[in-house]
Structure 1
Amino acid sequence: MTNLNYKILLIEEDPVITREVKKLLHLDNYQVYTTAYSGEGIKMCRHYKPDLIICNTNLRDESGYHFLIALRNDLKLKHIPFIFINGKDSKDDIRMGMNLGADDYLTAPFKSKELLLSIKSRLDRFDIFNTRSTHENKHTTIISVPVIPQEINNKLSKTEFKIITMIAEGMSTKEIAGSLNISLKTVENHRHNISKKLNLSGHNSLVRYAIKNIKQEFKILG
């Protein structure tokens, strides 16, 4: 499928950002629809059936978080790939977005290439689901497989590998500890060691790295 066949809904309150992102997407041959309102965004989803949504966390009528909740609660819309864009890069904001069901979270200022790569990754992933209708095998199974950068495979232990994957999925330290049946302190030690091995510094650097670099792809087993 070419980019000309993809429809993207951009929900953004800032007209300058809307204009710039829309121009970028048009240059890459995407069809783009825009709005600054959550309520109108849901209506446009039902009418245009976009292949992907880009949404700011701040909208004219309510937050982008409220929009995402409404989207994921709608059986006909919940499958649509979703990318948050936001000027905030706090750990809590990123975690909230991912826990609510966002597929990616880009903090401003981000490069045009970052956004385009994120879009392509999400569209490629969900294209796999669209192929299911062409398969006659009723026993087809789809599994999620994390795509890990080579530097992670080379530097991290098995436990550290599991932990950074969980971080990428938006899990908190407490949730990771419970899932692996280890203490909070042990998780914190692992997070520190992971950051050190990957040469990361700053309070939120590991979360941002995990979300941006560890992608989930889907494979069909038939």
Structure 2
Amino acid sequence: MKEPMYRILILEEDAALIKKIQQLLTLHNYDVLTCTTAEEGIYICRQYKPDLLVCGVRLRGGSGFHFLMELRNDPSLQHMPFIFISGKETKEDMRMGMNLGADDFLTKPFKSKELLLSIKSRLTRFTVFNIQQREKKHTTIVSMPVIPPEIHNKLSKTEFRIMQMIAEGLSTREIAEQLNISIKTVENHRHNISKKLNLTGHNSLIKYAIKNLTQQYRILS
């Protein structure tokens, strides 16, 4: 019996790498979709429901981390197996990716065999998971925010909301527009948040927000 053809989405800013991975996966009987931006990725996921995603840490005009956060926050997409690929391996990037819900993290240049084995492993595990869930009469997946104690105890409700929006990838201007406050007020909030959490450095608050404001998912039967 012929194995089922799985659909895989590749998100990556490097067109040459996309083509290389696409040729490899097509050769191994995978149905491959490709794109270079997070916006395209979310649209394709909703339209075509790929069985697995291979995503670069850097995307055109955005970040793979922010794309993964949006994916995991969407009940219809949060179950999709997700493999990160990166041009460099740092413990910070790897830990951040895993904290956000990535299933694997491969560093470029990786061998074709590594990618194929990772994909096969994730698809096999996900197929088994789906079978188990179909056998249950009632299954519900609930999102449970993970809030570090220092955030819960030190920040006001407004400051915590701004932290969430930073983690979602919103700029200072976008936060100001959504909360209907001035850019200066947002900047003051960001300064106060950094001070309360003992953060220093230009991007330290963004990194902290992405790493710590994650979601966990629990299956209720």
TM-score range, shorter chain: 0.5 to 0.7
Q: How is 1:183-194 mapped onto 2 (pairs within 5 angstroms)?
A: none
> C-alpha distance in 1, partners of 2:59/2:138?
43
**1:130: Cα distance to partner?**
1.8
Q: Is the 8 A contact 1:3 1:30 kept in 2?
A: no
Contact map agreement 1:8 1:54 (CA 8 A) in 2: yes
**Superposition RMSD on alpha carbons, in Å?**
1.9
- Structure 2 CA distance for aligned equivalents of residues 2 and 90 of structure 1: 40
**Corresponding pairs, count:** 139
Give the Cα separation in 2 of the matches to 1:45 and 1:2.
Answer: 25
Q: Deviation digits for residues 141-167 of structure 1, max 9, x if unmatched? A: xxxxxxxxxxxxxxxxxxxxxxxxxxx
The amino acid that maps onto 1:109 is P
Quote the Cα distance in structure 1 between the aligned partners of 2:13 and 2:4: 25
**Cα 1:121–1:129, aligned 2, differ >3 Å: closer, same or farther?**
same
SS at match of 2:76: coil
CA distance in 2, matches of 1:56, 1:108: 10
1:86-124 residue CA offsets vs partner (Å, 9 max, x unmatched): 011011011001111000000011100000000000000
Query: TM-score scaled to structure 2, two decimals?
Result: 0.60
* Identity value in percent: 58
Q: Which amino acid aligns with 1:47?
A: Q
CA contact (8 A) 1:4 1:31 kept: no
Check whether the contact 1:97–1:105 (CA below 8 A) recurs between aligned residues: yes
- What amino acid does structure 1 have at the position aligned with 2:96? M
| Structure 1 segments (4+ residues) deviating >6 Å | none
Gaps of 5+ in 1: 141-222
Q: Partner amino acid for 2:105?
A: Y
Residue 61 (structure 1) shift: 1.9
Contact 1:3 1:28 in 2 (8 A): no
Structure 1 length as normaliser, TM-score?
0.59
CA drift of 1:57 comes to 0.5
Matched, 1:6 2:6: yes
1:1-222 aligned at under 5 Å gives the runs 4-132=4-132, 134-135=134-135, 138=137
Q: CA deviation at 1:31?
A: 0.1
